[in-house]
Every structure is written in C-alpha cells, then in structure tokens.
Structure 1
C-alpha cells in the first residue's frame, strides 16, 4: 500500500503555528450574554441579548415577547425589513407589515391593494354589502340596513346582535333560509272570511300593502300571519288599529297611482325564525337593486290563473325586471313614475287577482329587501302584458315624510 506525502512550504520565513495564551484570548473574546453563574435557559428573554447582539430565530423572539401577535409584528420587520417604510398605502390608508408583504387598510371611500381606487357606487355597488353613497372625489361611503353595522374595513356588515330591538334583526339573521311566507301577511275580510289581498311585515306593528286593497275591502278585516296554508293561517291574528293611505292616493282619479298603504296593528307580531320583517333601503339603492338583482320573488294566495280559483297554499314566482320603454308600450293604461313592470312577454308566470299588496323582493348578499308592491295588471300572464308594481316609499323619497312617524322608523 502506497502512502502519499504532501509537504507545504513557503519561500518566506516560517511562522509559529501556536499563539501565546494572551494573544489567543484577544482573538476568542466574546461579549457576555448572561450574568456569571446563571444558565441562559433560566433567564427571561431579552430583545437586545437575543436578537440585536446576535441573530435570533423565531422561537427566541417568541420567548422575548411571550405573545404571538407581538412576536409576529416584530418578526415581520426583523426578517426582511419593514415593508411599510415608506408607506405604500395611498389616500391616508394605514399599512401593516408582514413577512415579505404588507396589507393596507383603506379609509372610507377607497379600495385596492394600495387604496388607490376611489370606490364608485355605480361599479359593483362600491364594493358595499348593502347601501352605497357617493362622496364625490372621496369615493363612496358604505352603510347598512337597520340591524347591521359596518365592520372595521368599512365595507362588510355584521349583525348587531339578538338583543338589539331593530327592524330586520330577525329577518336578516336567518335570511339564507328565506321564504316568502316569513314576511307575508294575508288580509282577510271579516264578513266573508275570504282572503282578498296580501301585505308585508315592516315591524312588530306596521304592515305595508296596496291602497286599493283598503278601498275594495269596504269594511273591517283582520291580518293573518305565520302559515302558508290559507285555511289554517291562524297562528297569529292581528286586529288593525289604524290605516294610512298614501297622501297623494286618490281612488276617484286613479285606482292604482301611489297605490300604497300602511296598517298599524293593535297588538304586536311576535317574530321568530319563520315570522319576520322585510328589510327596506334608500331610494337609489332600491332602484338599482330591482334592476341589477333581477329576477325578483313575488308571492301571494291569489288566483292561479285569470278568473280561476284562488290558491290554498302560498304561491311564489320569479319575475324579471322589464325595461321601462317596453313596459309603457305594452300597457293600454298609463304607467306613472311610481310604477314599474316585471314579468315575461309570453310565459305563464305572473301575479294575479288576490296577490295585490303582496311583496316584490330582491336579495343582495343574502339580505332580502322590499323592492315593490303588487298593484295591477291586464288579466294575468297575458301574452305581451306584464305585471305592474308600485315602488315602495323608502327613506329619501319625495313623499316618505308625509307618512306616519312609525314608517320613518322602519
């Protein structure tokens, strides 16, 4: 077996390999990291000792802060620098540093990764969950239906809680399980016991219906709530205390113009998972929703066909919004500014006699809003004809101040 011998040499003078003890000590000297005689593991974490004098790992940083949130806040800037310096968020947005990234929290009216986009109500509803209000150069401001409040991002909504006495507190909580029967009421003539119109629950004491229903009733009637079968709809029977037709409604001039009425009940409706009020929104929001969230849901116990028998169980149908020009051309009667059309040109899907006063509803983000009131039509589902609905007098409309105080509270 052969051995190879390697010899290192230098043309210069040969230096000694070993240093003196004093010289070696000067090379190997290090900063003290703990008090003499104490094990490092027994010391509480110290930021200067662990992560400034030396490079530390995540576990050592966690021992220092003893709090995961503070640890990660420090770690984000320690590992790769602070991504928020300088602040990349525009329009007064606040920046939160992350490892290799950052997030911007935008002030109301702006959106985008760097808050660079001014929200617009006419684009995706300003990214608002419910209502959007234009703020000009300041973008858009989001707000919520009664019973909801804005989250910190100013866009999403959170329910205010079961204990808060507000409209829609029950309706919106269970809105994913929505059924027209939840908000629907029946107007029943006392003399005959016959159901003649529908209506919608606005609050524990207020019902909204069509004004012509009260004119045609001609006498006393009751409100029935809580069942979908007309013969057994006796879970809750409410007596009316007072009724208020729209101040501009005049049946002698037009039976259907401003066809809205409110009924105030003697006793309160008890809300539950299957009995609840419908939500309402501002005028601009409602008008945009009825067009942008088509088709809408219409319900009632009316006739199943023109001059046919009334339904024994609550019926519902989805009807699309009809272009206003098409709506006017299709009708032999005048379509006023407070009316709109919905339905099909040649499909047998429509509201009919007995459905008047009932709800026309649209949803947005699992929240249902009243967008119309069943009013009138030329026969039912007649080819070339559409159902005609009254726009609800929502807050902000030109005639809502004339309604009772209870209406404005709704």
Structure 2
C-alpha cells in the first residue's frame, strides 16, 4: 500500500491518523493543536448533521401523514398530542407509528452496519448482502417455517438473527485462514461463496414446499409495513447494544482502514478490534433484517454518499449514516405506499429502485465515495 507523507500533530497528545483516501493517510483533523480551519470543518459537518436530523424529522412526519388515506399535518399533530379514539383519522396516525419507528430503527441499523462493514473489511462494496448475512438470515427463516412451522414475524426475528450471526462467523472463519488473515478480497469471496451456497439450500426447501414459499416470500422482499410493537420491542436491546458498539468504534475503524500493520503500530489489537466491531455489526444487521427482511442498498449506498460531506473519518461517517439511512428507507416506503394505489410496493423493492441510480451516480462522480 502506498502511503502519503504524514506529520505528527503536536499538542497535549500525539496526533491520531485517519485515512486520507485510497492509498493515503493524514493527521486527524480534530486532534489537539489544530488550527481554526479544522474547527471550521467540524462546524460545517455538525451543521450538515443537524440539517440531516431536521430532514429525518420531516420525513417521519410525512410517513405519518401520507398513505392510501392522506392526512394533513395538523391532524397528525392532534393525534399525537390529543388522541381521540373515536376519531378515525387519529386511529390511522397511531397505526402508522410502529411502521415509522421500524423505518427509523431498521434504516439506522443498516446504515451503521454498512459503514462499519466497509471499515472492518476495508472493502468499499461490503454490505450485509455481499458478506452473506442476508443469505444466512433468509435460510434460517426458511428453516424456521419449514421445520418448526413458524408463521409470525415475532418468530422470524430469532431465526433471522441466529442465521445472520452464524453466516458472519463462518465468513470470517473462512477468510481468516491462511497467512494474510481476513483480507478484503478474501472476505468478499468468502461472503459471495457462502451466499451462493445458502441461497441454493434455501431454494431446495422452497421448491419442495409451496406453503413455505407462500409464507416466506412476503418477508423476503423486505418491508416495514404490517409490523406492530410486539415485533419491534424484542429487537430493541440488540439494536441498542449494536449501535453503542459501532458508534464507539470510530477511532478503531480509522486505524483499521489504514491496514493491519499501521493499526498495530498505532497500538490497536487488530483481532480484538475487528471481533468487537463485528459483534456490533451482527447485532445491527441481524435485528434489522429480522424485522424488515433483507433490504438492500442502504448499507452500501449511504456510507459512500455521506463521505461526500464527511471525508474518510469514521467518527463522522457513522453518525451521518445513522441519520441518513432512515431518510432513504422511509422515503422509499412513502413512495411505495402511493405509487400503485390502492396497493403498495414494499420498501425493499423501492430502496433498490431508488438506490441503484444513486449508486451509479456516486461511481460516476468518483470522488468521496472511496471507489
């Protein structure tokens, strides 16, 4: 790996190095002793992050108001602050709250997990689908339906979570074999190979059982509709622990992005750091996939998009991904509700329709995306 010239920032402590882009490293912009330019950059990033939070609040309000039955925002506010059980419009708003909350939670989890995956694997194409987590969760759900007769979303949660965790362990174990350990290329190849094998096993079960196929296909397309609090609440502890682990690992991911040798030189225990971050990723991906199904593109597109504003520092990439991914997921869900009235298009399909052209644009733009 070619390294650019680096300097040590003098001040109350030694400077922290962060990736400066493909093939280079640069001093941490927020290290003690930096000038007003660094503070100005941090201020701009903070302003952009607050703007994203405002956009997320607007999109969440729109999710409560827009659907097959459109409602004005003042009705939404009345329903939230002065609920009248005899008012049909209020009942519609309250019924949409779990769907909106699920969009917030699943989007945030997938955005965080995607950003952390790309840092741990040092692979700009890392996401739950490419590294086999979606395949593991899907096969586990099919086995749960076919063997154990699971028919509720609450039951899917546990099988999907276990399947995603097992797939992550297997992929890392395969990629870790050999002298160089779990390199980005080996992780991607192991994930692709495992996904192909797991999906093949899943299809064997599905073609032999029409009943299993009928029940599985509604979960497979990915959707945040039709869920209630009984589905959301069991996943909250996993999501919370995963988010804390990943959000607290920004400095670790900055070190890992420089390569294992440099990370060790900066005092990181590379194996332990990867293991702890991977645990957070599995908790986030497994829970989100269990709740909403295998929704694609969020974990892949969002981290690349936010790098256009944050640069390569994962201490900023992670919170930006946390806020930005739910915006895309909820927006896609809103579009899916109204595009084919009186029916709906699941959010998983809409994220692919919206995310694919965005990703193509990011590739063509070429800078800031790390591609």
TM-score under structure 2 normalisation?
0.26
* Higher RCO, Cα 8 Å, sep 6+: 2
TM-score under structure 1 normalisation?
0.24
More strand by share: 1
More helix by share: 2
